[in-house]
Amino acid sequence: MLKKLFKYFFMIKEGYRYIAVFKKTFFHPFISESFLYKELSKSRQNFSNGVLEFLNIEAKIIGNIPTKNHILYAINHRSLLDMIVMESIFYKFNKTGTWIAKEKLFSAIYGDFFKYSGCISVDIENKKGLFAFFKKIKGTLAKVDDLNIYIFPEGERYGGVGIKSFQNGASKIALANHLEVVPVFINDTLEKVLKNSPFKERKIVEVFFGEIIKAEALEEEYNKFMTKVTN
């Protein structure tokens, strides 16, 4: 019981420790943007691997992950573990990427984790902010040739069956930057997984990767993919 409660202390402690790691890279005066995102991605992955090892959770990959980059990965969202599980997978394939996150996350109590770890913020209610956001994405992709975009198209956590209706940001990002879209479905309710962790025996979480889908029909194509992998 104590260890189940201790996990939150462990995750918070590790999170703050890695904020210091992120800052060293983020504020380094002599590195390129390409190297910046590569190093921040590695640090996020190392943090995630450490958390999953402590919780005794392992991701089982079903499907194929593209070897090429400049891919937008559209991922369902149920828990704060989603990001951690995905980073552990991207570590295995040496992927460099950036997460798209709501602006409010950057000013929350754990905001520095997002701010300095290579995530890109977006304020969907601010037209001027949206223009700056799309400009930032385009400029970053132009400078970082192996960068991938990670996004939760639902926009927030959803604990129901299937997925919540998608916001239109993922489609717009993919279309504006000519990115191919790969759907990803985490086939577990990770909120419950986190609650019940750490596990005595290894807990396996299934993560499905689909074939490339059309960005202009993202939600429809994603639903077809999800139905196929869950039936």
Task: Specify the pLDDT at position 162.
Answer: 81
Torsion angle, alpha carbons of 185, 16, 141, 134, to 10: 80
Count of structural domains within the chain = 1
In angstroms, rounded to a whole number, what is the distance separating the alpha carbons of residues 163 and 185?
10
From CA 192, how far away is CA 227, in angstroms rounded?
22
- The pLDDT of residue 11: 94
**Rounded to whole angstroms, how far apart are CA atoms 186 and 76?**
7
pLDDT, residue 1, reads 59
From the list 82, 21, 97, 22, the residue with the least C-alpha distance to 51 is 82
User: Sheet containing 120-122: which strands, arranged edge to edge?
Assistant: 57-62, 203-209, 180-186, 71-75, 147-151, 96-102, 120-122
Q: What is the pLDDT of residues 56-87, one digit of tens each?
A: 999 999 999 999 999 999 999 989 899 999 99
d(CA 24, CA 55): 27
Residue keyed to tokens 């999170």: 15
pLDDT of the residue at 217: 95
Task: Give the containing element (helix H, strand E) for 173.
Answer: helix 169-176
Length of the chain: 231
Peptide bond into 198 cis (omega under 30): yes
Query: 170, 163, 176: which is closest to 122 by C-alpha?
Result: 170
Query: What is the helix (H) or strand (E) element at residue 209, kind and residue range?
Result: strand 203-209
Please report the pLDDT score of residue 52 as a whole number: 98
Which residues in the chain show pLDDT less than 70? Answer: 1-3
Instruction: Name the residue range of residue 121's domain.
Output: 2-230
Q: What is the CATH number of the domain that holds 97?
A: 3.40.1130
Phi, psi of 206 (to 5 degrees): -85, 130
**pLDDT at residue number 61:** 97
Which tokens belong to 145? 């040739």
pTM above 0.75, yes or no: yes
The 10s digit of each residue's pLDDT in 122-135 is 877 777 778 889 99
The pLDDT value given to residue 3 = 64
Tell me, what's the pLDDT at 153?
A: 95
